[in-house]
Each structure stands twice: as C-alpha cells, then as structure tokens.
Amino acid sequence: MSENLIEVRNLKKFFPIKRGLLSKTVGHVKAVNDVSFDIKPGETLGLVGESGCGKTTAGRSILRLIEPTAGSVKFEGKEVTKMGVTEMRRLRREMQIIFQDPYSSLNPRITIGGMLAEIIKFHGLRTTQAAINDRVAELLEIVGLRAEYSRRYPHEFSGGQRQRIGIARALSVEPKFIVCDEPVSALDVSIQSQVINLLKDLQSQFGLTYLFIAHDLSVVEHISDRVAVMYLGEIVEIGDAKELYHNPKHPYTQSLLSAVPHPDPRRKSERIILTGDVPSPANLPNGCYFHPRCPKAFTDCSRVHPVLGNDGSGHHTRCLLWPESAPAGEKITVTENQTA
Ligand code: SF4
C-alpha cells in the first residue's frame, strides 16, 4: 500500500462559461489545472496563493464537495472520484473540512450542543443520550471551550470561538484528514496564532493530516511540513517548508515571501511588488502563466509553458530559469541579466 494518505494526480476543475439563449458553452474557467501532490499521514501540506488561484476549489474537489472535471484523488489508496453515494457517505467521516467562515455554516436556530449531538447520532458514534452528551462536552473541552457552552447559540460566540466550534464539528466524526480552508483569514492576528496552535496540538493528539489553505505564506509557515504555491490554477512551486522559505526558486514565491515580515531585522529583504493584474483563468496567457507580471521574465517565457520540475531533492519549481522546468525537447536561452 502507498505510504501516502492522500494522492492527487492531474486534478482539474473547469467551470463552463455559457452564453446566449441556448446556454452554449463558449469557454471554460480553468480554476484547477492539472494539480498533483501527495500528503503523508500526520503531515500538513500548506497550499498558498492569491485569491482566485484555485486553492479552495482544489480543496473542495478533493473532498468532492464539488465534482472534479478530471484527474484522480486517492484516500488510503482508494479512488475517491469514482465512489458511489454509499461509499462516499462512509468516506465523509474520514475527510472533513473547516471553513473560513464557520458562522455561515452553523444553523442559527440550533444550539452548539444540539448541532454536535445531531452529527454524533447521525453517524452512530454514540448510542445513548448520556454518551452523546458526554462526547459533546468532551469535544468542546478539546477545542478549548467550556462544556456548558453547549446550550448556547452560534450568535453568542466570538469569531475565534466560532472557529473552535467549526473545529469541534470536524473532529466530532473522528476524521483522519481535514481540509482547513483559510481557517484563520477572517480572524484578528492575535486570535490567528491561538487557532493555529490549537490545530497543531490536535494534530499531534489525534494524528491528523491537514491540507492547510491560506493566501498568506506567513500563516502556513509554522504549521506546514511542506508548502505548495499556486498561481492561476497550477502549482508553481512545492517543497519542504523550511527549504521553500529559505530558498524560494520561483519568482512568484519570492514576491510572496518578500511581503512576509521577518523577526530578524538583519534578514530584511527587498519587497518585490508585482505589477499588473492576475490574468483571467478563462483566458490564460501563452507560455508561462506568470510571465505578464514576472519581474524576471525573458524572451522564452511568453512562448514555452514550463513543467513542474524536480531538482532532485524534492523541491519542485515551474520556472524556465531552472533547467528542470524546461519541457522535453525545448532549448531555453536565459539571457545574461536574468538570474534565478
Ligand atoms: Fe518568470 Fe519566466 Fe520563470 Fe515564468 S518562466 S516565472 S515568466 S522567469
């Protein structure tokens, strides 16, 4: 059996653009465009990129909350994209999601205890009412809330507390894998670190595996074992978190990292400001998708689409400045003033 808990291969999610009276398909928004990665048991993969880069769509396609257009997703070696309704329902217990805005996914008319009890009952995880109540109290305590809060309604909690409730809900079915979809983006900075620390503690307590989605590299730095950077539906760089933070190879990752404040002022790097707008995923540029904004672009960049090349150490980059990213048969000439 594979050593990976999750294996994603050539995942695509295209949304059709329809026009006219007959709703004819005139194009596609290529939200996720040939994405592949693995996640090992107990590991956290950070998935980072600007809003609209396809990271949330990728996370939801893996869970089949939206149906992928093509590609393969395996959970413990089993193909998820081909599962029927019954098998998928069983799998939902193993794969959960924590949303950016937990409030919108909580029923305002049901107490928190009632909501958790319903899930526990539905999945047959406890049979007697007393056992269900005990489990609800335990879940609230696990996420740092008092057991008596079970009688409260969602509107009675702060943003940070609601996110803890979202985490309790995900944990209530005892999953192995959780997609954390920008779980701290809507929270104050002081609360963000509390929630990240809680997720880290829960991971070591329960052996959880995370796909942690964020738009900011600083958020995923302390929780990720590996990091993948997405741009316009593609992974442009993926590697060990420490290696990627210390030796970013892709100009897009370099620009994202230049915006992250460093605690050591001596390591201050110059901020790289990207000019121009992100092109539309419905009308992708030729060559490297990043070339219209790339400060290091050279002649071949508007002609050749780079592959996600491995430098031999597991650090993958999609940039023609690196020999491993040149597609087979393409001769790339890097001009003298361009350096990686
Ligand atoms: Fe920039 Fe060219 Fe590398 Fe694309 S291939 S990231 S445009 S240098």
Q: From first to last of the 340 residues of the chain, give the pLDDT tens digit.
A: 679 999 999 999 999 999 998 899 999 999 999 999 999 999 999 999 999 999 999 999 999 999 999 999 999 999 999 999 999 999 999 999 999 887 787 899 999 999 999 999 999 999 999 999 999 999 999 999 999 999 999 999 999 999 999 999 999 999 999 999 999 998 998 899 999 999 999 999 999 999 999 998 988 988 999 999 999 999 999 999 999 999 999 999 999 999 887 766 655 668 888 888 889 999 999 999 999 999 999 999 999 999 999 999 999 999 999 999 999 999 888 875 666 7
Phi, psi of 45 (to 5 degrees): -105, 120
Ligand 1 atom nearest the C-alpha of 306 is: 5
C-alpha 300 – ligand 1 centre gap (Å): 9
Query: Which token pair is 279?
Result: 């092109």
C-alpha 256 – ligand 1 centre gap (Å): 15
Supply the pLDDT for residue 337: 63
Task: Find the angle CA(4)-CA(8)-CA(9) to the nearest 5 degrees.
Answer: 120
Ligand 1 atom nearest the C-alpha of 298 is: 2
Contacts for 146-155 with beta carbons within 8 Å, 24 or more apart? Answer: 149/112, 149/113, 150/111, 150/112, 150/113, 150/116, 151/111, 151/112, 151/113, 152/111, 152/112, 153/108, 153/109, 153/110, 153/111, 153/112, 154/103, 154/106, 154/107, 154/108, 154/112, 155/108
Supply the pLDDT for residue 338: 67
Does the beta carbon of 301 sit less than 6 angstroms from any atom of ligand 1?
A: yes
The answer to whether 255 touches 50, Cβ cutoff 8 Å, is: no
Supply the pLDDT for residue 78: 96
C-alpha 332 – ligand 1 centre gap (Å): 12
C-alpha 32 – ligand 1 centre gap (Å): 20
Nearest CA to ligand 1 atom 7: 291
Does the beta carbon of 113 sit less than 6 angstroms from any atom of ligand 1?
A: no
The answer to whether 229 touches 48, Cβ cutoff 8 Å, is: yes
Does the beta carbon of 233 sit less than 6 angstroms from any atom of ligand 1?
A: no
CA distances (Å), origin 212, targets 178, 227, 305: 8, 9, 28
Radius of gyration over every alpha carbon of the chain, rounded to an integer in angstroms: 22
Nearest CA to ligand 1 atom 3: 319
The answer to whether 234 touches 285, Cβ cutoff 8 Å, is: no
Domains of the chain, residue spans: 40-67+78-246
DSSP strands (E only) in the chain: 6-19, 24-39, 44-48, 70-75, 78-79, 95-98, 177-181, 209-214, 226-231, 234-240, 309-310, 316-317
Phi, psi of 26 (to 5 degrees): -110, 0
Q: Is the pTM of this model over 0.85?
A: yes
Supply the pLDDT for residue 331: 87
Spatial separation of the C-alpha atoms in residues 119 and 228, rounded to whole Å:
33
Supply the pLDDT for residue 333: 86
Supply the pLDDT for residue 105: 79
Mutate to test the pocket of ligand 1, among 272, 286, 298, 333 (most ligand atoms within 8 A of CB): 298
Does the beta carbon of 319 sit less than 6 angstroms from any atom of ligand 1?
A: yes
Spatial separation of the C-alpha atoms in residues 243 and 226, rounded to whole Å:
9
CATH for the stretch 40-67+78-246: 3.40.50.300
Supply the pLDDT for residue 156: 95
C-alpha 219 – ligand 1 centre gap (Å): 25
Does the beta carbon of 251 sit less than 6 angstroms from any atom of ligand 1?
A: yes
Supply the pLDDT for residue 160: 93
